[in-house]
Amino acid sequence: MAEIERDLLEWPERTERSFPTPAFIPRVDNVDLGLDRLDGERYYSPEFMQAEWDKVWTKTWQLAARVEEFSEPGAFYVHELGKESFLFVRGDDNEIRGFYNLCQHRGNVLCQADTGVLDTFTCPFHGWQWNNDGTLKRAAAPELFRQFDNGVPTEELGLPAVKVDTWGGWLWFNMDLEAIPVKDYLGEAGRQLEVYGFEGWHLINYQTFEWNGNWKHAWDAFNESYHFAELHPDMIEFGEGHDIPIELLGIHSRMLNFNRTVSQVVEDRDTMTDLRAHMMLRAQEGWRDSETGSFSGKAKDVHLEEIRHRRSIEEDTYLPYKQMNDEQLVHQYHYSFFPSATMTQTPEGGAVFRYRPHATDPNICYYDFFILAHLPPGIPKTERPPHGVHRHVDGIDYAAAFGNTFDPILANVLRQDGSNMTTMQAGVKSDAFKGMILCDQELRIRHFHMMIDEFIAGSITTDSLPPGDAYLLKD
């Protein structure tokens, strides 16, 4: 048990009432998943990449875009996943649909813009057109086609559909038209997050990074905190990454990232250094200790004072403090939905990470970073920086990528992770590498790769998902 957990458990002001989201503390034990090494070939094998595509990517729910992006009929969004391009559009009937972004004449990519508003989608090659509900509007010069002597088969030539659904203010899609609803797919993990009211959150920034490594390296890096002390030494000055609670929730998982404290691996946890003040108090403009007029306690105890403050205003704020347990008020609840979406958040806002494979190369991936905020009522959304694709091979200024609105310390964390991807991808190919040795703080990685293997083997399908408590020890 981390020292911060004992502090929370023994804190005399700990709130004991029931909340919709179960707390992490005291910890719940997970089923022992063994000690086997994780082979390196899965990160670079073209055959394994194809198996993932056939059995995982085409059968599971994926994040597409925020529903707020489809603000009017004709509003569209193009999303690429692996070898496929998808077109999502709100039709004139106000329904959002999803299609393969593919001209049915010669196979050209149909819509070659990322976003916009259109009533009609026209292929730039020969001028075939489709309506914003996916139906064929016009085949150019149909008299030239003997196949159309008896009329153009408009139904047959409509855009091929993918299944779409919404949850948490996000549009999700599945290439399997028979897939279960996304809410059922997200299961207990999704239910636990409903208290955050994601439907009312707004997208503040969205950037894509092309990294020189397999997509699973990115997933692995952003689902454990064991590496903070070495790769991100600044992070342990304002958070605990050494020993954190983890729970496996069916095919999904969650962990608790402790914020606004100092890691137990740091010798001096009391002094309020400039870095700690910047990262732990910067978001609290106007926040003050009710007794002293300013925070004057130990740096490691900032989170306790913040919990106290938020409880004192829970009746008067637009934020859902009253529905949240003490941990949620200040610490980051970090969830990953299999296979490709991670959500980490506090009541005021958070980030979503999306991991995507390259179309043909297992040595390249795309890491999408979304920043969202729960804005106060009546506050208009500001224009966000344009979305860009930033390639590691070109060298990336991560702060500039976000329009210099991203904290430079956190931008440096992304730089460190992105650079580490390149060396990880090279290392796992070595003949001398015998497989990854994973500790209990890397349990989510072991579980995640086990889920991939189970899907590939057909042991798990979306019709036979394990229940949310399948990997939790029962009394």
- Residues 338-367 have pLDDT tens digits of 999 999 999 999 999 999 999 999 999 999
Q: What's the confidence (pLDDT) of residue 276?
A: 85
Q: Which of 159-163, 379-383, 462-466 has the highest mean pLDDT?
A: 159-163
pTM, whole model, 2 decimals? 0.94
Report the distance separating Cα 398 and Cα 387, nearest Å.
13
Q: Which of 208-217, 272-281, 390-399, 404-413 has the highest mean pLDDT?
A: 208-217
DSSP 201: -
In whole angstroms, give the CA distance from residue 63 to residue 127.
31
What pLDDT, on a 0 to 100 scale, did the predictor assign at position 315? 94
| pLDDT tens by residue, 34-69 | 999 999 999 999 999 999 999 999 999 999 999 999
Tokens read off for 177: 């038209």
At residue 294, the pLDDT reads 63
Task: Write down the domain spans for the chain.
Answer: 3-40+188-457, 62-168
Tokens of 159: 């855009």
Contact 281, 302 (CB under 8 A): yes
Residue 67: what residue type? V
Q: Give me the residue label for tokens 């299944």.
A: 163
Q: Supply the mean pLDDT for the chain.
A: 93
* pLDDT at 287 exceeding the cut of 60: no
3-class DSSP string for 374-408: CCCCCCCCCCCCCCCEEEHHHCCCHHHHCCCCCCH
- Tokens at 16, concatenated: 């004991």
CATH class of 3-40+188-457: alpha beta
Lowest mean pLDDT, pick from 103-117, 291-305, 334-348: 291-305
Query: Would you say 139 and 152 are in contact if contact means Cβ atoms under 8 Å apart?
Result: yes
For tokens 């290392």, what's the residue?
A: 427
Q: What is the pLDDT of residues 298-314, one digit of tens each?
A: 999 989 988 999 999 99
- CA dist., res. 75 & res. 132, Å (int): 9
Pinpoint the alpha helices (H) of 313-442.
326-330, 398-401, 408-427
State mean pLDDT over 440-464.
96
**Residue entry with tokens 């009929």:** 73
| Residue 473 dihedral angles phi and psi, to the nearest 5° | -70, 135
- Given a cut of 80, whether residue 382 has pLDDT beyond it is no
Three-state SS at 135: coil
The pLDDT of residue 289 is above 60 = no
Domain at 62-168: CATH code: 2.102.10.10
pLDDT recorded at residue 286: 37
* pLDDT for 379: 80
Provide the residue type at 450 as one letter. M
C-alpha to C-alpha distance for 208 and 218, rounded to whole angstroms:
13
